[in-house]
Amino acid sequence: MSSLEHAASQALAMMDLTSLNDDDDEGAIRALCRRTDTPYGAPAAVCLYPAFIDAADRELTAMGIRDRVRIATVTNFPDGSVNVERACRETRAAVAAGADEVDVVFPYKALIGGDAESGRALVSACRDACGDRLLKVILETGELKDPALIRQAADIALECGADFLKTSTGKVATNATLEAAEILLGAIRDSGRDVGFKAAGGIRSSDDAKAYLDLAAGIMGEAWLTPAHFRFGASGLLDALLATLSGDDTQPTRGGY
């Protein structure tokens, strides 16, 4: 197995196969779930809007892989409101509906404006609302832009109980970048906490995935690279990984998140 094939195999197991489109319906979510059953194993999770948690649960259960594929959803999404009550209400509802993981958007616009306390309040409250479910905090690094602001957001999320730091919503002009990933991984390393990292948005090729995995291995160590610590939020990436693993890199990839 080549180094690229090895990276593709790793990345597939670490994917949150994502559909967060305005026109999603139950049929689209069932189709998304069916894509998780590949000849090379299943991704870690599907990620979808809260309205489709039940549909995903039913489809994955019918496929016999619900115990292997987790269900992730999004809250306070995509705007990153400072409304703590709204974020908590959505998070509690997502957990009650059966989500295994909640990706909540950090109030990044408030932080840009100099308000760090809203971020602390919202992440802390959503941590409580999540209970024993995984809380991923979306920092929207492409909008924060300034490395110091990205690091500040990461440190706040870590201090307030995030289980994962996630780069982006996939809904802005600049989503995951290696530069932002390096800052978030450095914050995780420096915190000494058992926290994961999720790169989301714009990762569409096996080479892209390998670059992120190589970066994480250099900062956190090769043994850290497991689905418990590293995720890719993507849709089109799956086709690219399957093409690499099958030896057919001529296959087109799907666009999207």
DSSP 41: B
Active site residue 171: no
Residue 251: per-residue pLDDT: 47
What Cα–Cα distance (Å) separates residue 212 from each residue in 109, 176, 204? 26, 10, 12
Residue of 103, 136, 208, 210 marked catalytic = 103
Residue 252: per-residue pLDDT: 46
- 74 three-state secondary structure: strand
pLDDT tens figures, 101-146: 999 999 999 999 999 999 999 999 999 999 999 999 999 999 999 9
Contacts of 69 (CB under 8 A, 6+ apart): 33, 36, 42, 43, 44, 45, 46, 60
Cβ atoms of 139 and 153 closer than 8 Å: yes
Active site residue 145: no
Residue of 16, 57, 166, 210 marked catalytic = 166
Residue of 57, 198, 208, 210 marked catalytic = 198
Mean pLDDT of the 48-73 span: 98
Active site residue 155: no
Q: What percent of the chain has pLDDT over 90?
A: 96
What Cα–Cα distance (Å) separates residue 126 from each residue in 74, 80, 113? 12, 13, 22
- 216 three-state secondary structure: helix
Residue 253: per-residue pLDDT: 47
- Bond from prior residue into 252 cis (ω within 30 degrees of 0): no
What is the distance, to the nearest Å, from the Cα of residue 31 to the centroid of all Cα atoms in its chain?
Answer: 20
The total of other beta-carbon atoms located within 10 Å of residue 121's CB is 15
